[in-house]
Amino acid sequence: MKKVAVIPGDGIGKEVMEAAMLILENFNLSFKYVWLEAGDEAEKKYGRALPDETLEEVRKCDAVLFGAAGETAADVIVRLRQELKTFANIRPARTFKGVPALHENVNMVIVRENTECLYRGLEFEVADGITEAVRVITREASERIVRYAFELARREGRKRVTALHKANVMRKTCGLFRQVFYQVAGEYEDIKANDYYIDAACMYMAMRPQMFDVVVTTNMFGDIISDLAAGVVGGLGLAPSANIGEKHAIFEPVHGAAFDIAGKGIANPTAMILTACMMLRHFGYPEYADRIEGAVEKAISEGKTTPDLGGELKTMEMANVVLSYVEP
Ligand code: ATP
Ligand code: MG
């Protein structure tokens, strides 16, 4: 039995969570769902965006399924990632038939290191008008993330892992990352390994994104290139993500609370539903994930979508179409 903390949060987080849970609860999986509060509304109610009771409960859970937090996002989701030590940020980017995008037939997964690099928070004001930031790259964290990428490739039947770095300029930090990458790659003879400089990779991503299968990179490069990848395949309403640690995992759509459309029932539930599918794969239910993803693809290809993708359905109407398309 896996315990899953369900945190809808704010804005459209609540609406898309209701849609994803409609589908999850349709299956008889050995999950126990624990509904918890966090975000702007929790802060108004309890004075804390991430109440102690929520954090305590989350620690007892195997995973968090998270909707969105508004103004308090940093206090909630960034804090949860740190507290639960989720070292890998996984962001798939793929095209869907029926969704206008810059390219066709794109299907990649970006594996981003989530704990170090320039985002460690080691920023200093050295003197008035002079600031600096320290970029930390360790063998341990690099090896852990690279190994995760190769294991993911094997598990998903993917053929290639590509490392992105800037080792010609940052010879020590990126140099170490590249060295560790090829060391680990040597243990996976069934999977091709190559590397690009991050700047060149951005050009390839814009022009020929089909070149990429699994991409592994350090924290800041991963942050930037995963948004680029999401843009290349059609945007925010479709982008799921996962944060994976040794003991815990957090699954969340890439989009936020989107207050401009909140409360109208028109948010696209796709990113949240695909996020739930990532959780199903994580817990060893790939066949369920395949069926739900197939149903999402069918709904989108028939134009049975929310207005952001040109359809006329409400959030829960689309969720019900997806549910009815899930193969028995
Ligand atoms: P936050 O500050 O929490 O990130 P935001 O206002 O920046 O929220 P995002 O959720 O990041 O909003 O998304 C930016 C815009 O994209 C939204 O304002 C909304 O118009 C659109 N959008 C995002 N997600 C969805 C969705 N699931 N369905 C439809 N439109 C969406
Ligand atoms: Mg935003």
Strands (E), 83-239: 86-94, 107-113, 123-127, 130-133, 160-165, 192-197, 214-217
Q: Are residues 178 and 289 in the same domain?
A: no
| Number of domains present in the structure of the chain | 2
What is the per-residue pLDDT for 194?
Answer: 98
Q: Among 7, 18, 254, 255, which is best to mutate for testing ligand 1, by the most ligand atoms less than 8 A from CB?
A: 255
Both ends of the chain: CA-CA distance in Å?
A: 23
The pLDDT score that the predictor gives to residue 158 is 97
Task: Specify whether 217 is located in the same domain as 267.
Answer: no
Q: Please state the rounded mean pLDDT for residues 119-144.
A: 95
Per-residue pLDDT, 78: 87
Domain boundary among 208, 233, 258: 233
Q: What are phi and psi of 28, to 5 degrees?
A: -95, 75
96 found inside a domain? no
Distances in Å between the alpha carbon of 56 and those of 5, 10, 12, 121? 11, 20, 25, 25
CB of 267 sitting under 6 A from ligand 1: yes
What DSSP state is assigned to residue 253?
Answer: E
Residue 207 lies in a domain: yes
Q: What's at 133, amino acid-wise?
A: A
Q: What is the DSSP letter of 75?
A: I
Short-list 226, 273, 280, CA closest to 113:
226
Please tell me the distance from the alpha carbon of residue 190 to that of residue 192, in angstroms, as a whole number.
7
pLDDT in tens, 62-115: 999 999 999 999 899 989 999 999 999 999 999 998 898 999 999 999 999 999
Say if residue 132 is in the same domain as residue 209: yes
Domain co-membership, 139 together with 19: no
The finding on whether 255 has its CB within 6 A of some atom of ligand 1 is yes
Known catalytic membership, residue 227: yes
Query: In ligand 1, which atom is closest to the CA atom of 16?
Result: 27
d(CA 258, ligand 2 centre) in Å: 7
Whether 60 is in a domain gets the answer yes
Residue 300, token pair as written in the block: 């989108």
Residue 210 within any structural domain of the chain: yes
Same domain, 323 and 260: yes
**Per-residue confidence (pLDDT) for residue 175, from 0 to 100:** 98
Ligand 1 atom at minimum distance from 267 CA:
28
The reply to whether 83 and 143 lie within a common domain is no
Q: Identify the domain boundary among 233, 265, 291.
A: 233
Instruction: Tell which phi-psi region holds residue 258, choosing left (phi > 0), alpha (psi between -120 and 50) or beta.
Output: left
| Residue 163 shares a structural domain with residue 271 | no
Domain of residue 133: give its range: 101-233
Three-state DSSP class for residue 176: helix
d(CA 287, CA 259): 34
Asked whether residue 93 is domain-assigned, the answer is: no
- Residue 164 shares a structural domain with residue 121: yes
Cβ of 132 closer than 6 Å to ligand 1, yes or no, is no
Domain-embedded: residue 92: no
Residues 60 and 124 in one domain: no
Which strands form 160-165's sheet, in the order they lie side by side?
Answer: 31-35, 2-9, 63-68, 249-253, 240-245, 86-94, 107-113, 214-217, 160-165, 192-197
Quick check: is 155 in a domain?
Answer: yes
Bridge-based pairing state of the strands 2-9 and 130-133: unpaired
CATH number of the domain residue 189 falls in: 3.40.718.10
CA 225 / ligand 1 centre spacing (Å): 19
Q: Which helix (H) or strand (E) holds 54?
A: helix 52-59
Does residue 129 sit in the same domain as residue 18?
A: no
Mapping DSSP to helix (H, G, I), strand (E, B) and coil, where does residue 71 land? coil
- Strands annotated E in 10-75: 31-35, 63-68
pLDDT digits (tens, 9 = 90+) for 195-252: 999 999 999 999 999 999 999 999 999 999 999 999 999 888 899 999 999 999 999 9
Indicate if 65 and 15 belong to the same structural domain: yes
The answer to whether residue 265 sits within a structural domain is yes
> Of the candidates 209, 233, 257, which is a domain's last residue?
233
225 plus 133 within the same structural domain: yes
User: Is 60 a known active-site residue?
Assistant: no
| CA 170 centroid distance within chain | 27
pLDDT tens digits along 271-313: 999 999 999 999 999 999 999 999 999 999 999 999 999 999 9
Ligand 1: atom nearest CA of 271 is: 27
pLDDT of 121 > 90? The answer is: no
Q: Confidence band (pLDDT; 50, 70, 90) for 119?
A: confident
| Ligand 1 contact via 308 beta carbon (within 6 Å) | yes
Ligand 1 site, residue 125, Cβ cutoff 6 A: no
The number of the ligand nearest the C-alpha atom of 74 reads 1
Hey, is 326 helix, strand or coil? Answer: coil
